[in-house]
Amino acid sequence: MLILDDWEGEIRTSPGAERLRELADVTVLDGPLAEVPDDELADVRVVLAIRERTRFDAATLNRLPQLELILQTGGHAYHIDAEEVRRRGIVVPLWRSHDACEAAMRELTFGLMIAALRKFPEANQALSVGDWPGVLGGTLRGRRLGILGMGLQGKAVARLGRAFDMDVVAWARPGSQAADHGDGVPRLPMDELLTTSDVVSIHLRLSPDSRGLLDAAKLRSMKPGSVLINTARGAIVDEEALVEVLRDGPLRAAGLDVFTTEPLPKDSPLRSMPNVVLTPHIGWTVREAFAEFAEGAAGQLEDYLAHRLDQRELAFSPGERRAADVIGGVSTP
């Protein structure tokens, strides 16, 4: 078993890693897979991937000829070539546990909101050079929070928004029932949400429908003086148009943890804009999450070895070579 991209050293020292070592001969990498010689990968059957840090394209999979299981510590597999893993019969279960990452993401979301509205970066920069600025900010209380995406994260953000005494609304997807979703959050059409919300927070999965969803026209339609928060995926927002509306209005500010290109290019205008709060895709990078990753991976590996891994956990339908033999209830095609 190969544990990839343990840059922080949190996986190797976690209790879950001890469970993994009881199940497999484990090697932990804190550097890129590209630096490992091919002959050291020839017998690897299981990989534990840390989110999207390594892309599993055909070239990478060719270097792992015996690979049969990718333990994916995320709720998606954007970075994995679906057709290639199906063809090879590689099993890709998604992440079971969500508590730590969900807490980290919603806390960062509100951290970005508060930092943007209270102008923390501006105040910090002024103090760092010896000034004592008179910074005029605003509160969350009484403002309308518009949420795009009411999955687990969106619902958690809605609950916190109400705790901050915000007026919380959400986007009514086309064809959805706008009346009652059982969560007490009114659903609005996109145009109404954007034109009436003081803060818009994105919690959508990246998909063909959500890619570029907030285009130039939608960004220009936002309420004057509003704030955009994105902790989901950078490609959901037209980044060039975002720079324009942050310079010229209507946006007052933005808090961004994700970007169209990551790492964010050094020449990106976003890096130098005084009304933008930036974090380097750290929504999920908390110690508690890494401990959860290791525990969840150990449980999935145990189930895989015992032929009881639930096919409902899989990112992709099983392939032809190995998956049918190890997943409960799946027949060989």
User: How large is the average pLDDT for residues 175-195?
Assistant: 83
Is 90 exceeded by the pLDDT of residue 230?
yes
Task: Quote the pLDDT of residue 177.
Answer: 53
Using the predicted structure, report yes or no on whether residue 318 has a pLDDT greater than 70: no
Residue 73 has pLDDT above 70, yes or no: yes
- pLDDT of residue 242 exceeding 80, the answer is yes
pLDDT at 321: 46
Helix (H) or strand (E) holding 278: strand 276-278
User: What pLDDT does 333 receive?
Assistant: 27
Tell me the C-alpha distance between 157 and 145, whole Å.
9
- Per-residue pLDDT of 268-299, as tens digits, reads 999 999 999 999 999 999 999 999 999 999 99
- Token pair listed for 331: 């027949």
Rg of the chain taking only CA atoms, in angstroms: 22
> Sorting pLDDT into bands at 50, 70 and 90, what band is 70?
very high
Of 71-80, 182-191, 306-315, 319-328, least confident by mean pLDDT is: 319-328
Model's pTM, two decimal places? 0.88
pLDDT band at 154 (very low <50, low <70, confident <90, very high): very high
Higher pLDDT, 175 or 332: 175
Inter-axis angle of helices 287-305 and 99-118, to 10 degrees?
A: 160
Question: What is the predicted pLDDT for the residue at 331?
Answer: 30
Q: Residue type at 205? A: R
Tally the C-alpha atoms within 13 A of residue 38's C-alpha that lie toward its C-beta. 6
**39 φ, ψ (degrees, to nearest 5):** -65, -20
The predicted model gives 160-176 an average pLDDT of 91
Model pLDDT, residue 148: 98
| 149-153, 199-203, 292-296, 312-316: range with highest mean pLDDT | 199-203
| Local confidence band at 326 (pLDDT 50, 70, 90 cut-offs) | very low
- Mean pLDDT over 182-205 rounds to 96
Say yes or no to pLDDT of 58 above 60: yes
Nearest to 74 by CA among 297, 329, 224, 310: 297
When the pLDDT of each residue in the chain is averaged and rounded to a whole number, the result is 92
pLDDT exceeds 50 at position 244: yes
Give yes or no for residue 330 having a pLDDT over 60.
no
What is the C-alpha to C-alpha distance for residues 258 and 279, in angstroms, rounded to an integer?
A: 8
How far is Cα 102 from Cα 292, in angstroms, rounded to an integer?
Answer: 12
Q: Structure tokens of 188? A: 């609005």
pLDDT reported for residue 175:
67
Which residues, listed in sequence order, are joined to residue 314 by a DSSP beta bridge? Answer: 93
What amino acid positions are annotated as catalytic residues?
233, 262, 281
> What confidence category does residue 332 fall into, taking pLDDT thresholds of 50, 70 and 90?
very low
What are the pLDDT digits (tens) for 104-151? 999 999 999 999 999 999 999 999 999 999 999 999 999 999 999 999
